[in-house]
Structure 1
Amino acid sequence: MNRTRIQIAKADIVKHFDGLHDHVLKLKEIRTILTEQRAFWRLAQSTTAEQFITFLKEHAKLREVEFPFPQRPERCYVWGDVPLLSVLLSLKKNLYFSHYTAMRLNGLTEQSPTTIYITDERSSSGNDQRERVKLGQAEIDQAFSRPPRVSHNWVEHTGKKIYLLNGAHTGHLGVVTEPATDEGGQEVPARFTNLERTLIDITVRPVYAGGVFEVAKAFALAKDRVSINRLVAMLRKLDFAYPYHQAIGYYLERAGYKPSQIDLIRRLPIENDFYLMHEMGDTRYVSNWRLAVPDGF
């Protein structure tokens, strides 16, 4: 039987894809490869990108992977065996792992979370230097009496629940690219929030971190590695409307940090009562941080 041109070129095509730096590709990138290599592979001009992809899926190592996120579905093509962490970071430009996933990558949890959090940070709106609105006690009370806002932009994939969060613009503050170990024990390059930024993020959104007990455990596990100076500098840059530093101070005290470290947080103004989390039910009041925490916590 006569072999088609694409069958004759298969070995060269496989060699080309094997040699690519990134084995997670978008449709646009595959189209570009086909355009640039068509003459060298002697493929017919009538061979479309869709036909090319179908051939590679049926006769080589290409897989199509879909993530039907409600806000915007994502699709990519994976060549060979690529760790899920690498696939997820390749879905869009400048994504990074955050919250519970960053806790795991930073060694801040003893759990093996089945939920993965990726943040897609909004670009600068041009008016990021606007003055922060000052909230009064009544506004804080009202906001924290309600349930926390939780994203519905998630999908199930290979037994994992994957959230793609729409993050506020921070200029990727505290985001690092470092080798990380995936759940299969394979080392992969990953983008994720560093120790200090992760502790801040999970204080702000304990619902994305396994709850306040897991957040408290993270502060305890970070004790010998975290820089409170760096953490305070980040807090100043993030300039939250709510006084999350009061919650952070409480977590530090609860985990037995040095008084000199806790004092760095105490220097920040404490002007209102605050809450460790939303919609707590029975609470107790920690007067030195002006903080309501769950009863028994």
Structure 2
Amino acid sequence: MATRLQLARPRIKGFFDESGTKVFRLKELSQVFDEQREGWKLAHRTSRSEFVKDLCQHGELRILKFAFPFRPETRYVWGDVPLLAVLATLKTRGYFCHYTALVLHGLTEQNPKTIYLNDEQTPKPPPSGEMEQLAIDRAFAGKQRTTTNRVEHGGNTIVILNGMNTGNAGVETRSFDLEGRAVELPVAGAERALIDATVRADYCGGVGEVLKAYELAGALEPGVSINRLAALLKKIGYRYPYHQSIGFYLERSGAFKPELIERFRSKFDFEFDFYLGYRMGKTEYVPRWKLHVPAGF
């Protein structure tokens, strides 16, 4: 004789097929079970674990485990859901950034296998003391720090960053075509993506890939706004003068009008010498932007 759970399978499947939510935490899936069990006429002895097991064996539920070293995450996914849509649920205020944002905006011709999600830190007091040239020189002579909070999954490397708090400045939620379907994703907007790429080129394939992103940005529709980029950079308030690197990329890309670049340049001070990247080895100096760049770049 069929059990009540077996008899309820068509109704349960119909519920999840019609539900707007396809990705669940265990707590959310348990809530569905508690709220619907009477309507599905499940036996009182049916446990949540039995319910989940049956959905996996006879339904379309998949259990995806992400064994991050700092905080492992598990998601319960109904049906065929694009990976980015699943990852978007990992952090409440998280958003896709760096190389992943470049991909989503069409600012790279590469197909990287690393996915970046930023979960910004809580606000912290600004560093004390004045910026000094020696401190800049020392910092950029070394290797750029990279996070170890990453996990391998299905041929991809998934990285969760804890960037400085910006109040998610320049972040937007947009619809993207993923695997033939429209999916809403939180992502660094085009201007924010270019800033992030400039600040952390190692998370975007290196300075050559960042320059390519600026070249492609000139053809975006709607286009990248240099005024919006400058305003966003000032709002974020980096301690280092990244405007010198951004100005160089804008000019070197050849994708933006000279008068717009001059307008950008006029909004900032040029007090220090700066560096396009970390530990670049042999460099050349660009006086106009007071910037050290890789030799031959």
Determine if the TM-score, normalized by the shorter chain, exceeds 0.5.
Answer: yes
User: Within 2, Cα distance between the matches of 1:181 and 1:42?
Assistant: 39
2:199 aligned with 1:204, yes or no?
Answer: yes
1:136 has 2:135 as partner: no
Cα distance in 2, alignment partners of residues 134 and 236 from structure 1: 18
Deviation string, structure 1 residues 127-184 (Cα, Å, up to 9, x no partner): 5xx58753110110111011001011111111111111112211111111111133x3
The answer as to whether partners of 1:134 and 1:241 remain within 8 angstroms in 2 is no
Partner of 2:109: 110
| 2:151 is aligned with 1:155 | yes
Letter paired with 2:96: F
* Inter-partner Cα distance in structure 2 for 1:191 and 1:38: 33
8 Å CA contact 1:133–1:241 kept in 2: the answer is no
Q: CA deviation at 1:187?
A: 3.1
Query: For residues 103 and 37 of structure 1, what CA distance do their matches in structure 2 show?
Result: 42
Name the residue aligned to 1:181.
177
Map 1:1-297 onto structure 2 (within 5 A).
2-124=1-123, 133-182=129-178, 184-224=179-219, 225-256=223-254, 257-267=256-266, 268-297=268-297
Give ranges in structure 1 of 5+ residues lacking alignment.
none
Q: Secondary structure at the match of 1:162?
A: strand
Q: Distance in 2 between matches of 1:50 and 1:133?
A: 56
- Rounded to whole Å, the distance in 1 between the matches of 2:118 and 2:45 is 40
Runs of 4+ in 1 over 2 A off after TM superposition: 122-125, 130-134, 184-187
8 Å contact from structure 1 (residues 94, 120) kept in 2: yes
Residue aligned with 1:208, SS: helix
Mapped to 1, the partners of 2:264 and 2:187 lie a distance apart of 24
**Percent sequence identity over aligned pairs:** 48
Q: 1:117 to 1:265 in 2, by over 3 A?
A: same
Distance (whole Å) between structure 1 residues aligned to residue 54 and residue 28 of structure 2: 16
2:78 and 2:252 mapped to 1: Cα distance?
Answer: 47
CA RMSD of aligned residues (A): 1.4
Scaled by the length of structure 2, the TM-score of the pair is: 0.95
Deviation at 1:46, TM superposition (A): 2.3
Mean CA deviation greater in 213-222 or 186-195: 186-195
Mapped partners of 1:276, 1:134: distance in 2: 21
Contact 1:249 1:289 in 2 (8 A): yes
Aligned AA for 1:162? I
- Structure 1 SS opposite 2:238: coil
Q: How far apart, CA to CA, are the structure 1 residues paired with 2:269 and 2:127? A: 17
CA deviations over 1:3-55 (Å, ceiling 9, x no partner): 11111111111111112111000100111011111111121222221111001
- Counterpart amino acid of 2:71? R
Post-superposition offset of 1:94:
2.1
264-273 or 241-250, which deviates more: 264-273
Aligned residues: 292
**Unpaired runs of 5+ in structure 2?**
none
What is the letter of the counterpart of residue 259 of structure 1?
P
Measure how far apart 1:92 and its partner are. Answer: 2.5
**Cα separation, 1, equivalents of 2:132 and 2:180:** 48
